[in-house]
């Protein structure tokens, strides 16, 4: 055997003997729920900016539509709790009661305002008793459009050198479709206009309704996430078969966090099988929503006696991360980043 061949064989043998190192699992995403909404009025540009400063990977705008078909970021289409509309005499006559997905709701609704009219309103803290520090920023900002949130994420990506993703939620899409304002087509068009209509774009589109996500499957290439609460739901996340069914039209599942780490005897119990079943179905898992205030924590994680005091959020976040999730929603992105380590 000549020297060249012996050298080649020796090199091949050494390569075969070298252990293959597993690629490290990506860190779970920190998703800023309505921005840093524990510290600034939710769905404002200041809340999103603070979330990015705190290290959030994605920012989440809930999307509703105006009368002239423009997407704006609000938790609900009823806006008396998040704006100063109730104090505006010029809009007093627009107060009404509507049936929104089977619930009677009284107030002022985005679909009864043009974008120009909504822009005259000012945002305010939705939970001032629990978040008085955030309430000090009331009245400082207008309602942002989804395009403004996209522009912010793009500008902050350039500024920070980190990719800042977008996690829009379609709110009440069936209701909006019934009144002639289709969300799915409008959202697909807007994403395409911004070069975000792609499975590799930093975008997840989420919804509590499976029908609109199925519609998006045929017209939109962005990733889709099925949201599920602890109560009655139109999909099953408590069996492997249920998760497989979701995987037919979604890329991920967003369960309310006790579906991943249940509350047992006032504390945190062992994780459920949800993450394992979802991963077997090739679904990502992004639980919602971790909040710091005692009002939102299990009894054993509360600290102090006041509902607004902050409890042991780190213990909750660590338990959720330990369950193997791919991301987590939080009103306090800095706490989620810190617990992630």
DSSP tag of 267 = E
* 172 included as an active-site residue: no
Distance CA 236, CA 253 (A): 11
How far does Cα 170 stand from its chain's mean position? 11
Distance CA 201, CA 180 (A): 29
Report yes or no: 221 and 252 within 8 Å, Cβ to Cβ. Answer: no
Q: Which two tokens stand for residue 171?
A: 């709110």
- 246 Cβ contact list (under 8 Å, min separation 6): 210, 226, 235, 237, 253, 281, 283
* 310 included as an active-site residue: no
Instruction: List C-alpha distances in Å: 13 to 7, 10, 19.
Output: 10, 5, 12
- Which of 33, 43, 172, 286 is flagged as catalytic? 33
Distance CA 47, CA 62 (A): 13
- The per-residue DSSP string of 285-306 comes to E--B-B--BGGGS-GGG--SSS
Q: Which residue has the tokens 């994780």?
A: 271
- Which of 43, 75, 172, 286 is flagged as catalytic? 75
Which residue numbers are catalytic? 33, 75
């Amino acid at each position: 055997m000549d020297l060249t061949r012996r050298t080649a064989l020796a090199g091949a043998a050494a390569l075969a003997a070298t252990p293959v190192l597993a690629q490290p699992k990506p860190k779970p995403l920190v998703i800023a729920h309505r921005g840093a909404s524990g510290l600034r009025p939710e769905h404002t540009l200041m809340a999103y900016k603070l979330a990015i400063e705190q290290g959030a990977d994605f920012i989440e705008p809930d999307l509703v539509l105006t009368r002239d078909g423009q997407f704006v970021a609000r938790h609900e289409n009823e806006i008396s709790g998040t704006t100063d509309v109730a104090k505006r005499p010029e809009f007093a006559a627009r107060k009404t009661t509507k049936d929104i997905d089977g619930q009677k709701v009284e107030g002022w609704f985005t679909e009864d305002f043009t974008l120009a009219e909504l822009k005259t309103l000012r945002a305010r803290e939705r939970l001032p008793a629990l978040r008085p520090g955030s309430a000090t920023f009331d009245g400082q900002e207008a309602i942002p459009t989804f395009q403004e949130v996209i522009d912010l994420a793009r500008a902050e990506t350039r500024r920070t050198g980190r990719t800042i993703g977008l996690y829009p939620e379609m709110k009440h899409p069936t209701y909006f479709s019934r009144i002639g304002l289709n969300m799915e087509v409008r959202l697909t068009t807007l994403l395409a206009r911004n070069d975000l209509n792609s499975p590799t774009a930093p975008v997840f589109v989420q919804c509590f309704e499976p029908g609109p996500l199925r519609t998006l499957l045929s017209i939109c290439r962005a990733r889709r996430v099925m949201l599920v609460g602890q109560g009655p739901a139109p999909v099953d996340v408590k069996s492997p078969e249920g998760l497989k069914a979701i995987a037919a039209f979604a890329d991920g599942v967003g369960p309310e966090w006790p579906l991943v780490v249940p509350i047992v005897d006032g504390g945190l119990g062992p994780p459920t099988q949800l993450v394992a079943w979802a991963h077997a179905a090739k679904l990502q898992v992004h639980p919602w929503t971790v909040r710091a205030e005692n009002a939102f924590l299990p009894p054993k994680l509360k600290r102090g006696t006041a509902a607004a005091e902050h409890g042991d959020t780190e213990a909750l976040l660590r338990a959720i991360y330990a369950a193997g999730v791919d991301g987590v929603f939080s009103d306090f992105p800095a706490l989620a980043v810190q617990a992630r380590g």
